[in-house]
Amino acid sequence: MIYIHAIGIHNTIPDNQPTDLKSELKALSGKLYRRIDHFIQLAIIGAHKAVAESEPASQTALYMTSGQGDMMVFDRVRRQRYFEKRLSKPVDFVNLSSNTAGFYVVSHLGLNGKNLFLQDHHFPVQMTMLLAQNDINLRREKAILVGGVDEWIPKPELARKLLGVDETTVLGEGSNWMLIDGEVKGAIASFAMEPKALDKVQLHRLLSSVEAGTFLAFSSRFSDDEVVEVMALNKSCKRYLYEVSCAYYETLPLYVLNRFLTREQGKLIHIDISQERYMVMSVDNNGFSLESTARIY
Amino acid sequence: MKGSLDDALKLRLKEMIIEECEKDEVAPEDINDDVQLFSDASGLELDSLDALQVLMGLQIQFGIRLPDSKAFRRHVTTINELADFIQPG
C-alpha cells in the first residue's frame, strides 16, 4: 500500500497573461532565483508547498511529469533560431530540456535521490504514479515526491491544438505534488491505482463493486454522456465535481486528488480515458488522523 | 567621444548586464565603472554562464561579436574598458 504524507497545490486560471511567479516564489521561499523561467518557477512553487512542513529525507526521489513540458522556452528558442536568425540565449538553451526543472526543484529542496522527468502522451500523471507505486512496492525507493506541472501558454489557439481540446476549453496552469512512501505512520491518506489500463467491461466491473459513498471524478476527456453512463453503474457513488475550481491542463488529475484530500473525507476514484482505455487512481483519507492533515498546504 | 566618457553608453551596458544576468536586486549605480565585473570585488557574483549571457547581450544589443573567450576576457573587464572597446572615440 502507498501512503500520501504531504501534498502541495498550485492551481490558477491566468487572465490573458501569465501570472507573476517570480515574486511569489521569493515570498514563499525567501530566495531570489534567476535563470529559471515560468515553468521551472511553477515546479518549485508546487513542490515547495508540498514539503514546506514535512522536510523529506534527502534520499527522497523526485518523479515529475508534464503534459507539455517547458513549452514557452521551446517557443522562445525556436523564435530566436528561425525568425530572429540568432543563437539562443545560453540559459534558454540549458532550460530547453524539461528535466532541468527537476534539477532546480531538487536543488531547492536539498534532495539527493533519483530525479526523473516522465512523459506519456495519453496518461502522464497516471503513468508517473504507476511507476512511483511500483518503485515503492518493490522497495526501490523509500519515498518519492511526485509532481505534475503544466504552464499556461499565452497563445491559447496554439495550446488548444497541441492539447487536442476544443476551442471553448479554458486553459489553466498548475503544479501539484504529493509526497508518498510505504509507511502509514504520519500519512494523510492512502493511494492506489489499477496497474494497467482497463477496457470498458473491466471498468464497469470494477465500479459496480466499489463501496457505497465512494466519490467518482472524471477527467475532462469524458463526454457528459459517458459520465452519465458510468455513474449509472453504481448509484451509491457520488460524483466529485471539481471542474468549477480549475481550468484545463494535462496534469489536472493530480490537482483533483489533492483538492479532494483538502476538502473531503472519504474515498475518491479518479477515472481518465484515452483511446477507449481507462486509467483508474484512488485516494482514501478515511481513518487518517486530522492531526496529520495539518501538513496539507 | 570615448565610451568611458559616455554616461549614456555606460548606463546601457550596466542595464544590459543586469538584464542578461537577471540581477534584479542590483541597480545600475551599484556597478562601479572601474571594478572588474567578473571578480569578487564587483559584488555581482557573475560566473561563466553569465559570461555567455553577456556575450549574447553584447551581440544583440550592441552589435558586438566577440569571437572567443580570449577576446571576451580582454574586453569585458570593467565598464569603462568595455565602453572604450565599443566606442573607441
Arch. (CATH architecture) of B3-86: Orthogonal Bundle (1.10)
Query: Is B49 in Cβ contact with A35 (below 8 Å)?
Result: yes
Contact list, A86 vs chain B (CB under 8 Å): 59-60
Cell digits of residue B32? 562601479
Q: Note the pLDDT of residue A293.
A: 52
pTM value is 0.88
Contact list, A35 vs chain B (CB under 8 Å): 22, 49
Question: Treating both helix axes as pointing N-terminal to C-terminal, what angle do A38-51 and A21-29 enclose, rounded to 10 degrees?
Answer: 30
Spatial distance between the Cα atoms of B9 and A289, rounded to a whole number of angstroms: 64
In sign, the C-alpha dihedral spanning A246, A251, A253, A255 is negative
List the pLDDT tens digit at each of the 297 positions of chain A: 899 999 999 999 988 888 889 889 999 888 888 889 999 999 999 999 999 877 889 999 999 999 988 888 888 888 888 888 888 888 888 888 767 899 999 999 999 999 999 989 899 999 999 999 999 999 999 999 999 999 998 888 888 888 888 888 899 999 999 999 999 999 999 999 999 999 999 999 999 999 999 999 999 989 999 999 999 999 999 999 998 889 999 999 999 999 999 999 999 999 999 999 999 999 999 998 655 554 554
CA B50 vs CA A63, A89, B69: distances in Å? 30, 10, 13
Where b means 16+ CB within 10 Å and e means fewer, A183-193 reads eeeebbbbbbb
Query: Is A94 in Cβ contact with B22 (below 8 Å)?
Result: no
The superfamily in CATH containing domain A2-189 is Thiolase/Chalcone synthase (3.40.47.10)
In terms of DSSP bridges, do strands A215-218 and A267-274 run parallel, antiparallel, or are they unpaired? parallel
Of A32, A34, A90, the CB nearest to B52: A90
Amino acid at A59: Q
The dihedral over CA atoms of A251, A255, A256, A257, expressed in degrees to the nearest 10, equals: 110
- Rounded to the nearest angstrom, the minimum Cα separation between B52 and chain A is 6
Tell me, yes or no, if A139 comes closer than 8 A to chain B by beta carbon.
no
Query: Is A34 in Cβ contact with B22 (below 8 Å)?
Result: yes
Amino acid at B43: G
Q: Note the pLDDT of residue A18.
A: 84
Strand order across the beta sheet in which A173-181 lies:
A115-118, A61-65, A143-150, A173-181, A2-12, A189-193, A277-284, A267-274, A215-218, A238-239
**CB-based burial label for A117 (10 Å; 0-12, 13-18, 19+):** buried
Q: Note the pLDDT of residue B89.
A: 82
* Tens-place pLDDT, residues B19-56: 999 998 899 999 999 999 999 999 999 999 999 999 99
Angle ∠(B75,B22,A27) on CA atoms, nearest 5: 155
Three-class SS of chain A: CEEEEEEEEEEECCCCCCCCHHHHHHHHHCCCCCCCCHHHHHHHHHHHHHHCCCCCCCCCEEEEECCCCCHHHHHHHHHHHHHCCCCCCHHHHHHCCCCHHHHHHHHHHCCCCCEEEECCCCCHHHHHHHHHHHHHHCCCCCEEEEEEEECCCCCHHHHHHHHCCCCCCCECEEEEEEEEECCCCCCCEEEEECCCCECHHHHHHHHHCCCCCCEEEECCCCCHHHHHHHHCCCCCCEECCCHHHCCECCCHHHHHHHHHHHHCCCEEEEEEEECCEEEEEEEECCCCCCCHHHHEC
Q: Note the pLDDT of residue B41.
A: 93
Length of chain B counted residue by residue? 89
Cell numbers 481550468: residue: A247
Q: Note the pLDDT of residue A76.
A: 85
Of B25, B49, B56, the CB nearest to A87: B56
Mean pLDDT (whole number) for B6-18: 97
Nearest to A289 by CA among A207, A189, A173: A189
In chain A, what are the domain boundaries? Answer: 2-189, 191-295
Q: Note the pLDDT of residue B29.
A: 96
ipTM above 0.85? no
Q: Note the pLDDT of residue A258.
A: 96
Beta-ladder partners of A105: none
Q: Note the pLDDT of residue A68.
A: 85
Nearest to B3 by CA among B60, B64, B49: B64
